[in-house]
Amino acid sequence: MTDIQGIGVLGAGAWGTALALTAARAGNNVVLWGRDANAVSQMRSRNINAKYLPGITFDEDLNATTDISQVAACDLILAVTPAQSTRAICTLLADHKVGRTPIILCAKGIERSSGKLLSQVVSEVLPAATIGMLSGPSFADDVAKGLPTAVTVAANEMDAASSFCEALASPSFRPYASDDLTGVQIGGALKNVLAIACGAVVGRKLGASALAALTARGFAELSRLGAAMGARPETMTGLSGLGDLVLTCSSTQSRNFSFGIKLGQGTPARDLIANGTKLAEGAHSARIAVDLSDKLGIDLPICKTVAGMIDKDISVDDALSNLMARPLRSE
């Protein structure tokens, strides 16, 4: 890997802005691209992103822009746009002759139309690019404020992963390198689905015992899918697996957990989606996870339950009854 100094960030929402600040704190020249011209103008003139990170001002110098060609010219690109737009954003980069530039995926999900991991999507559109994945227990507000955060940064080659970590590390942001790119992606995608289930339990006021049980059994599903897809067990028990699951299944800062709470309170999924509720990537990933489990011959009952609540508007009470009525078996 060549020396990384200029980092481009695609996506000027809360997470994109927070990661741009992280990259700047690590001593890099940063270009932050966004579609929202008002938000970009505000960051350039007032050092604030009021729409996505209200109340947080920053001193770091971010070159905010709506010109994607400025990102295309950087040494390293962080793709922080939603998971379902990964193919489209990579196509834009291809149009700007981005070939071998390393790309770190920072969205968590699986492509809905194909069932492919995001790294597979990037490889199809930008076959020469070195691909990384950043994932772990982290909320945008905490990272933007410079609060202590640890994540996993993975690539197929450990040298590349280590290089990415060196480019992003700062006193408050600790990235750990991994060469289990598949495992890190699975952890990030599936924990969003499981967080919806946990949120539904909280929204229905079913108690802390039910929440703990569901989180633990959810981790079993995450591990099962990871094993079937070749992920390493230590990845599943690490920051990007268990660590992210625990955070996401216990805090209303999580969009997926909050989405689940509303389901538990009786709001149909179709209304939540139609009303433009903040993106809950797990709502997209649930059905994909079920399709993958069918293809691989493994059992993901919680994911199937979440898919039923989203696709068929199954109530939380019926969903819980279905889970509790499953045949008794050893743990």
Q: CA-to-CA distance for 45 and 93, rounded, in angstroms? A: 27
Cβ contacts of residue 299 below 8 Å, gap of 6+?
Answer: 224, 293
Among residues 238, 32, 247, 31, which one has the least CA distance to residue 154?
238
Q: H or E segment at 32? A: strand 29-33
- HSE, CB side, 13 Å, CA atoms: give it for residue 138: 31
3-state helix, strand, coil split of the chain in percent (to 5) is 55, 15, 35
Q: CA-to-CA distance for 193 and 219, rounded, in angstroms? A: 11
SS3 of 176, please? strand
Among residues 249, 103, 127, 239, which one has the least CA distance to residue 183?
239
Which of 51, 116, 145, 191 does the annotation list as catalytic? 191
Residue 307 neighbours by CB distance under 10 Å: 22
Extract the tokens encoding 244.
């992210």
Cβ contacts of residue 37 below 8 Å, gap of 6+?
Answer: 66
The answer to whether residue 262 is catalytic is: no
Among residues 222, 197, 220, which one has the least CA distance to residue 210?
197
Give the active site residues.
191
